[in-house]
Structure 1
Amino acid sequence: MVEAVRLHQATSLQRARVRLGAAAAATRRGASRFRRELRAFRRTRPFWGGLWLALAGIEIVYWTQNPIALVVGGGWGRSAGYVIGGGLVLLGVAAWFTPLYRALFGILGFLLGLGAFVGANLGGFLLGSVLAILGGSMVWGWGEKQPRRPRRGRRAAGS
């Protein structure tokens, strides 16, 4: 009787392992597919420049919302932080989905980064401005990768 219970438990365990193994394999396949699609997306878009622009905008808005003790100026500076930060996030996302206008988005992101230094708490205490300038430059300078030519085979000796 005890052996029959152990055998039943063992088969239940084996069935559970098989089910978990199948689920893990499906998860790995899904993750692998997601990584392939993300890689393809990154290679056909100014991904990193857009990411830096969006992070710069988030950082500038974050420092705009902080208590008065940390804020350098109030009034227009607070509104400018929201306008410039939101604009940077918008430019970063727009660069991802419309890479045709990358030059315009890159230059506008660069200029908003410079404007954030003056208008929005030193550009999020310098970090936001630096990220915006970096991201704008990367978006503006991005070029779609050209497919590589296949390598020619080595020539045989003496030909």
Structure 2
Amino acid sequence: MLSRAPALGRAAWRWFRAFRRTRPFWGAAWLVLGGWTVIKFSLGSLQLVVETGFGAVAGYLTGGGMILCGLIPLVDPRQRYTFGLIGAVLAVVSLVVSNLGGFVVGMLLGVLGSSMMVGWGPKRPRRRERRADAGGGTGAGGGTGAALAEPALAEAD
């Protein structure tokens, strides 16, 4: 039982590494962290939120929207442009509606994460794999470099 634990740990790490490289992981992580920060600095008792109205709920809505905009591209990376832009707008709006956007920290994390998400692109094949494919299959890889690389996402752009 204990002898399989390192192998399972390596397999889990390989899966996570492949997951992280085929999705806008770091942009999503920063955007979710920014949304959590906005919500954290907007916290109040439920009675206060109900009595205050939209002014108190706005922090929850913008922070929750930022978190959703960070999580959706992890499931469907082709939606990174849409939710990256919506996340950036929500981050900037949080400056006005919720304690200066989590005292500016949440807003900056949200803008950073959403810009990273919009700028992310699918992983390209390694240089030696591209050379092997361009060489007509006579390289060391035997022309199978594209098969070894992780499949690129189908872009609808």
| Aligned equivalent of 2:21, options 31, 38, 43 | 43
Among 31, 49, 54, the alignment partner of 2:9 is: 31
State, as a whole percentage, how many aligned pairs show the same letter. 42
Where does residue 136 of structure 2 map in the other structure?
Answer: none
Q: Provide the TM-score with structure 2 as the length reference.
A: 0.74
CA distance in 2, matches of 1:75, 1:143: 41
Look up the SS of the partner of 1:105 in the other structure. Answer: helix
Q: 1:139 aligns to what?
A: 117
Question: CA–CA distance in 2 between the matches of 1:61 and 1:148?
Answer: 41
1:100 partner amino acid: R
- Cα deviation, 1:29-62, whole Å, max 9, x if unaligned, reads 1111110000000000000000111111111111
Q: Can you give the 5+ residue segments of structure 1 that lack an aligned partner in the other structure?
A: 1-22, 68-73, 154-159
Please point out which of 44, 59, 79 is paired with 2:37.
59
Which stretches in structure 2 are left out of the alignment for 5+ residues? Answer: 46-51, 133-138, 140-157
Contact 1:76 1:119 in 2 (8 A): no
Residue type at the aligned position of 1:94: I
Contact in 2 for aligned 1:60/1:120 (Cα 8 Å): yes
> Greater Rg, structure 1 or structure 2?
1
Q: CA deviation at 1:94?
A: 0.2
One-letter code aligned to 1:59:
T
Give the root-mean-square deviation of aligned CA atoms: 1.7
Rounded to whole Å, the distance in 1 between the matches of 2:95 and 2:38 is 10
Question: Hey, what's the Cα distance between the residues in 2 that align with 1:75 and 1:118?
Answer: 16
Amino acid of the residue matched to residue 38 of structure 1? F
Question: Alignment partner for residue 81 of structure 1, among 47, 59, 62?
Answer: 59
Asked if structure 2 preserves the Cα contact closer than 8 Å seen for 1:64 and 1:124, the reply is yes
By how many angstroms is 1:75 displaced? 4.5
Cα distance in 1 for partners of 2:68, 2:108 equals 17
Q: Distance in 1 between matches of 2:104 and 2:125?
A: 38
